[in-house]
Structure 1
Amino acid sequence: MPAILDMKWGAAVDPHRAQETLAIANSVGQVQFWQLAAASSPAVPQLAHQFTFSLDDPTTLCLSLDWANRLPRYHAADANIAISLSTGAVTILQCTATGAIATTEFAAHDFEAWITAYADPTTLVTGGDDMLLKLWDIRTELSSPIVTSRKHEAGVCSAQAHPTKDHILATGSYDEHVLIWDRRTMRRPVHDVHVGGGAWRIKWHPCEEGRMVVAGMHAGFFLVDVDAAGGATITHSYTKQESLAYGVDWCLPGGSHVASCSFYDHALHFWSAAIE
């Protein structure tokens, strides 16, 4: 399999089958779609490949992706996927049970578009190597963003909408800062936490509304608590992986453990997120 840059589960693309689909963005201009298949043992789940979408140019990297219906409150939305590309463009795919087609492509950034994320099914967030954070209304012609922020001081490489609070958004950058935003007032962030390494990935806890985990590249992995009154603080760090902290997510159900992966040594670690 080619190098994987991002992957996310989305709600069912077939309304007649309540089965989630895993979308994988890779380094040869593809998004692959997989589903859990029936296995001989429930303890050994298997993934079955469904179909693949390919860009015209296989030298273009698919850097990140997000489903419009990924969050539970948006499961009824269309199964669209936004992909950010190494060219600075963003492509939106319309997905069905049998395939995906590109419906929209627009120039989002002058350099690599490191991240894209849905804030809601009609609002897309993008971040690029041009140090810009942008919000787009995908119901428009996409000739210009509805918001452009220059608060980050290096490339913007991560973004994720809060799973339960409609207007809250977190972004991360090579400037080693995670910024928490209220989309209703984007002139300045609500909170700013310095994690000590490039904030390559951010994942809000799906159940504990003020908690997130951050993959901080050279600095390791961090748990961050966000309190509306007290700000954002690092509560725990995990530095036992010896290579670049690159991928991270919460283990469900329960969400008391974290899965993290590192770049050069291909290592996957599982660790407790409980604060002692």
Structure 2
Amino acid sequence: MSLDHDDSGQHSVRKENEARIFDYRPTPLDACSIETCSGQCLQWQSSESETSEYENSIVAHIPMCLGCYQLDKTTGTRQGQLDLYAIPVVKNTSREQSSRRYSIQSFGDDKDNPPLTICGGTTSKVSGILDGKWCPTPYQRQSELSFENYYATAHASGEIMIHNIFADGATISDINTKTRNPFQAKFAGKTTQEELSVADPNSPCLCLAIAWDQSCNNGNDAIPLNTRIISSYSDGNAAIHQIQQSSSGNVELSTSLEHCWPAHKMFNSPSEVWCCAFLSINNNDNTTYPTNIVATGGDEGCWKMWDLRTNLSRPIYHNTNAFDAGVTVLSPHPRQSNLLVVGSYDETIALYDVRYVSSSSSPTSLFHSDAIGGGIWRCKWHPKDDNRLLIAAMHGGCRIVQFADHLVAPQGRKCDHDAGSEIPIQFHSVFTEHKSMAYGCDWLVYPNDAIVAGKKDEVVEAAVSCSFYDQTMYLWSAPITDSI
């Protein structure tokens, strides 16, 4: 399996609960990843301070990054581009027009709110982007009128690049200027050629996937930033980089290679390592501690768990028989870190409780789906709703999965799943407008605290997705459903 394959063959997909299109945009190159930062947005004003003069106005912007990757078949080079969008959250003028107070139904006006090209395009030459990730909380500098975070990208050159994304709404006093893109970006750091040469300097490889360590700096707004990124490569290797910020006033980051090891093989030759993730340890008090366990998934159809305290000569767990094709997705639950969704090119997903994984056993999944109509490429847990999962399924479009309410225990309580027990799920939405491989997807959610408070009628949300060869991205409805 390769990212440079032809887009051939159409699989039939189910049409039940078809989602509704809100907005559409062509992408500058073949779109490979789309990532929002719904947990952290530029908030223009609190709902308590709104007055009638702000009717039908933008009350917040949610940042969204689109990463593109395109093979030039003439030269054999892989071009890239990273664009930063400001997704407007609009206050509805009348509850008669919408059942909710706010709406997210547009990528923004092309003329007044164009995307900011961070790298690539006419600004600079950059290698193709295959993956991108926002630095997870708790690293946030956020007040009502400010935003700051880091965004990392995986490149076809094998490099990882990191950008500082920021905005200061306090400098914009005119309410009309809120239609413009308020976000800015600065280059913050990247991996070096010397680090890349640890694997094989004579064999260039693609960086296929990256993930931040969500356990670092837990429980505080730790500045300077001190965290890690795991990355996986087309030459069969995986790596861990330490990411550090020199001081609170300096956005530049230093990167240093901590580990690099051969992770996956097929027929005694290196195989693509399509995905990687940190697996945190979640204790009964719901406190997450720094982790030494990581996971990788390879083109040979296996996923493995590794302990960074060992010499990494062998995994602590090796799943060999759950999937019939390459493992392409590893998605840990953001709040119940014992839960891990694994997706495959064989068109199925499986849910595991990693507490039951050991080197001497083959754990039974809590759920393993039938084929859903397309190879799995991304799985995104909802930023606040513990039981919903968004899936990009290549030629099968996108799906929203609803798990049973008892998937995650209430705050402060231990969540125990019996080994081998089945978790009920249902596929309650499908989006099939993409005419090519749906490679990227993510959630847009505002306001975030409404879900926690159980006020579903106040929750405003949508989904975004992008596809490869037809160079499109869509913003579409993601309806909230009743529990199962």
TM-score computed with the length of structure 1 as normaliser: 0.91
Matched, 1:139 2:309: yes
State how many pairs are aligned. 276
Give, in whole Å, the separation in 2 of the partners of 1:174 and 1:219: 11
In structure 2, what is the equivalent of residue 81 of structure 1? 229
Corresponding residue to 1:218 among 349, 371, 395 = 395
Q: SS at the partner of 1:122?
A: strand
- Structure showing the higher strand proportion among its residues: 1
Task: Report how far residue 59 of structure 1 moved.
Answer: 2.7
1:1-276 equivalences in 2 (<5 Å):
1-11=126-136, 19-38=148-167, 43-44=180-181, 45-54=183-192, 55-56=196-197, 57=201, 59-69=204-214, 78-97=226-245, 98-110=253-265, 111-120=271-280, 121-150=291-320, 151-186=322-357, 187-194=363-370, 195-227=372-404, 228=407, 231-254=424-447, 256-275=461-480
Give, in whole Å, the separation in 2 of the partners of 1:78 and 1:148: 30
- The runs of 5 or more residues in structure 2 that have no matched partner are 1-125, 246-252, 266-270, 281-290, 358-362, 408-421, 448-459
- The runs of 5 or more residues in structure 1 that have no matched partner are none
The change in CA–CA distance for 1:197 and 1:73 in structure 2 (over 3 A counts) is farther
Moved over 2 A (4+): 11-20, 37-43, 54-59, 69-78, 252-255
- Structure showing the higher helix proportion among its residues: 2
Task: Report how far residue 225 of structure 1 moved.
Answer: 1.0
Q: SS at the partner of 1:184?
A: helix
The change in CA–CA distance for 1:253 and 1:16 in structure 2 (over 3 A counts) is closer
Task: Report how far residue 193 of structure 1 moved.
Answer: 1.9
8 A Cα contact 1:117 1:125, kept in partner: yes
* Larger Rg, first or second structure (1 or 2): 2
Cα deviations across residues 47-80 of structure 1 (Å, max 9, x unaligned)? 2221221423483100000011279957769410
Higher RCO, Cα 8 Å, sep 6+ = 2
Cα deviations across residues 127-153 of structure 1 (Å, max 9, x unaligned)? 001111101111222111111112111
8 A Cα contact 2:375 2:395, kept in partner: yes
Task: Report how far residue 209 of structure 1 moved.
Answer: 0.5
The change in CA–CA distance for 1:204 and 1:70 in structure 2 (over 3 A counts) is farther
RMSD: 2.7
Give percent identity, aligned residues only.
31
